[in-house]
Structures are given as structure tokens and as C-alpha cells.
Amino acid sequence: MGPPLQIISNGPFTATESPPTAGKWLVARISQQPSPYQSCLLRYSVNVQAGNVTDIEVGCSQFVYVANAGDNTVSAYTVDPASGALAAVGTPVKTGMSPHAICETWDRTFVFVANEGSNDISAFAIDFVSGALTPVPGSPFPAGTDPRALGCDDGAVLYVANAGTDTVSAYNVDSAGALTPISSGTFATGKGPSSVLQMGPQILFVANNGGSDDISAFMIGGPGVLYPVSGSPFPAGGNPLSLAVAWTFLYSANPDATSPSISGFSVDIATGVLSPLSGSPFPVPVSHNIATDNAMHLYVTSGANVLGYGVDATTGALTPLPGFPVFAGTNAYSITIENEQFLYVADDGAANVAAFRIDATGSLTPIASSPFAAGSHPESIATF
């Protein structure tokens, strides 16, 4: 192993060995992340050669992507690692009709967008350094009826919730980002599946918002192979729309018109079985989505505001955090959290993204220059 090499910018660099050894395998890794914290990744080909290696690339930029349902576009932003401020990457890129859900592969390779109005999936390749999006050849790819939610399984498989047919479909993702339906990869859910969440490598949950008021649970038996969990679907509150995980607890946002709530469950990691938490569903005025961080905080969109709750690590019970509600914007819709430091809210009614810094107590402080402009009716927001 050679001496550590300090990298001071995104992009390609050269790793040297003195003297170079013919036929030697190169193994590269990141030994220390920068400060302020960023999640740096390496991208390179495996090389066996007698000379300097020149095709390694490091990327430390963090990206935020927003699906704009009103103008059929997706907006891209870079995240300032110190302040959390967003900077637009070029102009919004066209999608299919009425993009509603968005997900990205963990290695910053592809972004997928579910288009409700055109019943297809737009796929984009990500520039590893800049975050710019380029349509994948063949995109958009046909989907089921009313594709409303997506789940990326480590980049190899894409799960699509089809609200019009009460199913989840699985697609292979090839090295270029193209989607191919997996044979026998369509599975029944409850009515109107609206959210897909994978917990660990082997459990997939689907919130059903179309009237069955429940959560479907599956064990993942292989790429695109799902087995219903015993007892699934599990009852939730009214109109479960969004899912989030905190440690071994699963939560659903239930924006029922008369009795909005959050349902909480303990998850049996071995079997995927859900058991309701004591006091669940919890009466919370949730209007759309929820998100959690690794510090056991749960955040909820509620009208124009964000609400914050602490999660009891033993019981999963929710306790309101002081200092909330926090104003986010007109019709605050979806939430994402970046590097456990920054929280972003897509404001569907204000065509922008509100940005906040999260402190150790879970409190939110608006980031300078927030909100940041988005497209028309931004409904889904995602980070890596």
C-alpha cells in the first residue's frame, strides 16, 4: 500500500506507485472524509498495469433533486457542505407528464422519476462531479398505471408502485441506466400504493393510500423477487402516504382529512412483521410527508409548516420537540435530509425549496438565502 494521497478537488487524479509494478492490482479507498463533512465516493476501473493509474475519479459534491409536477421537469442542485445552501445546476430537465416521485442510486450514478400522467419512468445519468442530468438512452421507460412511488435497491433493481393497478413492479437497472421489467416481477399490494421504502437489504414496505389504509410488507428473496410477509398488509391510520424508518421502528404519515396521524410500528428484522407501537396511531396534524434522521428525530409537513418529534429509542414513542412548528412555505409537501445536517422541504404551493440546518437537539434554523427557486409544483425531493 502506498502513502495516502491528499485530494483537494472533485474530478480525476493520478495515483502513482514508485516504482510501478507490472501486473499489480490497485485497490483505492477513502481513508478520511473532508471537513466540513461530505460523503466522498471513488469511481474507477480496476487496472492491472505497469504504470501510473489515471482513471480514478473522486466526487465529494452533494446533490438535491426535485420533481416539478406542474411543468414536467426535474431540478438539480449542489449543496454547499458548510452552509447547506443550494445552487442550481443548469436549467430544469424535462421528464414525462406529472412527475411525482424521485429516487437515486447510492453511488450517484442514476436518478429515476415516476411520471404519473404519462405512465412511465424517466431515467437520467448523473455527472459524478457537477450533478448535471443527462437522459439515459431509451428514456422514458414504460411503467404501470399511475406510477406514484419509487424505491432504488442499491442501484441494481428499481421498484415502482403502480397506484392504478395496486401493484409493485420490479425492473433491472443495467450499467447504462436502462430499465428492463423483471419477469414475474409484479406483486399485489393494498389499494393505491403511494410510498416505497426498503429497510436494510431484505425488507420492502409499501404504504397504500387508496382506501385500504394499510402497509404491505415483503421480504426480498433476490433481485426483484418479493415474498409477502406473514400477516401483510398491516393496518395503519387513514390514507397512509409516506414512510420513514428510525432504527427498528417504521412510521407512516396518515394525512386523513378528519383524523390525521402517524402510525408507528416495531419491525421484526428477521421476518418483516410489523407490530403497532403503544399509542399508535399518534394524533399528529400531518398533511403530506415525513422523514427521519440518524439522531432519532422525525419531521412532518403540516400545512405551511414543519413539525419535529423526538423518537424514544426504546419504545418508539413520539415526543414533540421545542421550537416547532417552523414555517417552510405554502403547501409544504415532501422532506429530505442530507448528511444528517440539513433538511430540505419542497413547497408545492410556492415553487421553491426551503432549507434548514439541523442541530444536535433536532431544532431547525433557516439557511441563509432560503428558500431556493424550483419549478412549478415541486412535489418530490431527494438527496443521496
Comparing C-alpha atoms, which of 261, 267, 147, 140 is closest to residue 205? 267
Give the pLDDT band of residue 322 (cuts 50, 70, 90): very high
Does one domain contain both 358 and 219? yes
DSSP 111-149: EEEEETTTTEEEEEEEPTTT--EEEPTT-SEE--SSEEE
pLDDT exceeds cutoff 50 at 19: no
Q: What CATH number has the domain bearing residue 194?
A: 2.130.10.10
| Domain tally, the chain | 2
pLDDT, tens digit, 9 for 90 and up, residues 94-133:
999 999 999 998 888 999 999 999 999 999 999 988 999 9
Does one domain contain both 39 and 120? no
Does one domain contain both 48 and 141? no
pLDDT, tens digit, 9 for 90 and up, residues 49-95:
555 666 677 777 789 999 999 999 999 999 999 999 999 999 999 99
Does one domain contain both 86 and 124? yes
pLDDT for 12 equals 66
Does one domain contain both 218 and 309? yes
Does one domain contain both 45 and 100? no
pLDDT for 35 equals 72
pLDDT for 236 equals 97
C-alpha cell at 72: 414536467
pLDDT exceeds cutoff 80 at 332: yes
> Against a cut of 0.85, is the pTM above it?
yes
Higher confidence at residue 49 or residue 323?
A: 323
How much of the chain, in percent, has pLDDT values that exceed 70?
88
Does one domain contain both 262 and 298? yes
Q: Which residue has the cell 490497485?
A: 26
Question: 159 is in which domain, residue-wise?
Answer: 61-383
Would you say residue 3 lies in a domain? no
Averaged pLDDT of the chain: 90
Q: Which residue has the cell 445552501?
A: 85
Query: Does the CA dihedral 216-222-224-225 come out positive or negative?
Result: negative
pLDDT exceeds cutoff 60 at 1: no
Does one domain contain both 24 and 171? no
Does one domain contain both 350 and 201? yes
